[in-house]
């Protein structure tokens, strides 16, 4: 309840107003997922509406969109930029139709970021227990990086949405013979994904390999052949897209030098220095883009999400090896590509891996909370506070007021901790 005081000509009077909070409490109690989804959408829209000034990377890419013919790709992109053809075509069409305002050029990332929320919620419901699914959704909806990149004029949130759409289709197809709907969904992903998202290659390859292995072990040769044919079609499509995209990159690019720090040094012979560097790159993922490590005591704080990730991976693989492999294999493929110096394992370039990591971490919290004793429940609640408090507060801090984002030397939102 609240009091309102009003001062008249000669009187001071008060009136008590009762505010009924019970409907809100009931909504949070009965439909927590809807509340978290609504909050996630709200934060993304609020940050979009702040209309912050474009930073250097956005402006460089915008120079290849505004005033350019929609289907003109005869020359390299300027500003050392590279983006998928589908993203460039849609962005150029929007610039022609709606103009070159920040709101117009960031509309696609916002749409993809909001769509990713609902896709992630659907996946979490399918593969995790209800309590763990809610933990995963809180991590995803209130992720500072995912909120920010939903209103950055780059293709990172599109990578996220495309990867989630492919994962959801694979989850629905896993463990059963191919249906017309599942074949259509995976065939569409094979056709469109390479042209809309570079990073989706890891998700498509990981999900496709899991579906194929699942049907081979089930001795369902018919469905296995269907997945194999779709996979080969995707591979051919990917190679064409890869070659065409390389032609968009300036021959004088410094992109590979810029990202050299994020290639895993895993080629033999392995030296102690290379092992330390590889460990730093892997641990840095928990800072950029997961933002799960508070700036105070990071070398101790990182142990919590690392332990939860290991526990969650082991738990999910035991509970359902197919689902566990569906999440783990794209991460492993991205690590392999990084070791071959084909794709950096760092920051905004691996947003498509964030959902799998959050799902595994949430599974880890559920593993801790399965005990029936008061001590195990106390540990579970303490771990939840440690995992959720900092990222949620960080998201609120940056979303509720326009604040400058001091990018680090690699263009990430958070200062590097485990790499130089």
Distance CA 79, CA 205 (A): 31
Question: Model confidence at 402, in pLDDT bands (50, 70, 90)?
Answer: confident
Give pLDDT, residue 322. Answer: 94
pLDDT category, 15, cuts 50, 70, 90? Answer: low
Distance CA 395, CA 141 (A): 9
Q: Is 405 helix (H, G, I), strand (E, B) or coil?
A: coil
Confidence of residue 114 (pLDDT cuts 50, 70, 90): very high
- How much of the chain exceeds pLDDT 70, in percent? 94
Q: What is the structure's pLDDT at 2?
A: 44
Report helix, strand or coil for 2: strand
* 5 pLDDT more than 70: no
Q: What pLDDT does 166 receive?
A: 95
Lowest mean pLDDT among 60-69, 184-193, 265-274: 265-274
What pLDDT, on the 0 to 100 scale, is given for residue 420? Answer: 74
Residue 10: band (very low, low, confident or very high) from pLDDT cuts 50, 70, 90: very low
Q: What is the pLDDT of residue 85?
A: 94
Tokens for 195, please give them.
């042209």
Mean pLDDT of 5-20: 54
In this structure, are residues 321 and 193 in contact, taking their beta carbons and an 8 Å threshold? no
The terminus-to-terminus CA distance of the chain in angstroms comes to 53
Instruction: Identify the DSSP state of 133.
Output: H
pLDDT at 318: 95
Q: Length of the chain in residues, anyone?
A: 420
Nearest to 258 by CA among 82, 417, 86, 91: 82
> DSSP characters for 391-407?
HHHHHHHHHSS------
> Mean pLDDT lowest for which of 71-75, 153-157, 254-258?
254-258
228 contacts 187 by C-beta, under 8 angstroms: no
Mean pLDDT over each residue of the chain, to the nearest integer:
90
**What are the boundaries of each domain within the chain?**
2-399
Task: Give this prediction's pTM.
Answer: 0.92
Max mean pLDDT among 100-104, 246-250, 399-403 falls in 100-104
Of the pLDDT bands very low, low, confident and very high (cuts 50, 70, 90), residue 400 is confident
Query: Of 21-25, 70-74, 128-132, 185-189, where does mean pLDDT reach its minimum?
Result: 21-25
Query: Which band of pLDDT confidence, cut at 50, 70 and 90, is reported for residue 403?
Result: confident
**CA atoms of 296 and 306, how far apart (whole Å):** 17
Would you state the pLDDT for residue 6? Answer: 44
pLDDT class for 238, splitting at 50, 70, 90? very high
DSSP 407: -
pLDDT for residue 105 is more than 70: yes
Statement: residue 181 has pLDDT above 90: no
Residue 84 predicted with pLDDT over 50: yes
Distance CA 107, CA 116 (A): 14
Tokens of residue 28, six digits: 């949070």
Percentage of residues in the chain having pLDDT higher than 90: 69
Could you give the CA distance from residue 10 to residue 353 in angstroms, rounded to a whole number?
A: 66
Mean pLDDT to the nearest integer, 6-16? 51
Question: By mean pLDDT, which of 42-51, 204-213, 371-380 is the weakest?
Answer: 371-380
- Does residue 127 register a pLDDT over 70? yes
């Amino acid at each position: 309840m609240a009091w309102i005081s009003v001062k008249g000509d000669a009187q001071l009077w008060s009136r008590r107003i009762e505010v009924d909070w019970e409907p809100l409490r009931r909504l949070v109690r009965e439909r927590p997922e809807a509340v978290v989804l609504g909050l996630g959408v709200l934060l993304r829209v609020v940050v979009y509406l702040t209309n912050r000034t474009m930073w250097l990377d956005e402006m460089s890419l915008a120079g290849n969109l505004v005033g350019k013919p929609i289907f003109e790709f005869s020359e390299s992109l300027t500003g050392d930029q590279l983006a998928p053809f589908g993203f460039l075509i849609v962005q150029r069409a929007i610039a022609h139709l709606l103009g070159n305002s920040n709101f117009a050029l960031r509309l696609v990332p916002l749409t993809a970021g909001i769509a990713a929320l609902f896709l992630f919620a659907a996946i979490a419901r399918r593969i995790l227990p209800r309590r763990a699914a809610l933990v995963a959704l809180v991590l995803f909806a209130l992720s500072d990086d995912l909120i920010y990149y939903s209103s950055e004029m780059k293709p990172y949130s599109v990578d996220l949405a495309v990867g989630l759409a492919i994962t959801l289709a694979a989850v629905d197809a896993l463990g059963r013979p191919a249906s017309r709907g599942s074949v259509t969904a995976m065939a569409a992903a094979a056709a469109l994904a390479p042209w809309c998202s570079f990073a989706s290659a890891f998700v498509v390859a990981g999900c496709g390999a899991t579906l194929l292995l699942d049907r081979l072990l089930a001795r369902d040769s018919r469905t296995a052949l269907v997945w194999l044919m779709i996979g080969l079609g995707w591979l051919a499509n990917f190679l064409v897209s890869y070659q065409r995209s390389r032609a968009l990159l300036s021959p004088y690019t410094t992109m590979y030098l810029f990202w050299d720090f994020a290639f895993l040094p895993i080629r033999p012979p392995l030296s102690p220095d290379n092992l330390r560097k590889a460990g730093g790159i892997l641990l840095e993922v928990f800072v950029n883009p997961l933002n799960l490590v508070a700036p105070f005591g990071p070398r101790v704080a990182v142990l919590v999400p690392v332990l939860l990730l290991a526990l969650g991976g082991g738990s999910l693989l035991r509970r359902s090896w197919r689902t566990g492999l569906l999440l783990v294999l794209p991460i492993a493929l991205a690590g392999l590509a990084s070791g071959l110096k084909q794709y950096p394992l760092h920051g905004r370039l691996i947003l498509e891996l964030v959902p799998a990591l959050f799902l595994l971490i949430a599974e880890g919290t559920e593993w801790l909370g399965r005990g029936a004793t008061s001590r195990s429940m106390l540990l579970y609640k303490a771990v939840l506070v440690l995992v959720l408090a900092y990222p949620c507060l960080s998201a609120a801090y940056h979303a509720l007021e326009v604040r400058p984002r001091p990018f680090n030397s690699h263009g990430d939102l958070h200062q590097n901790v485990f790499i130089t």
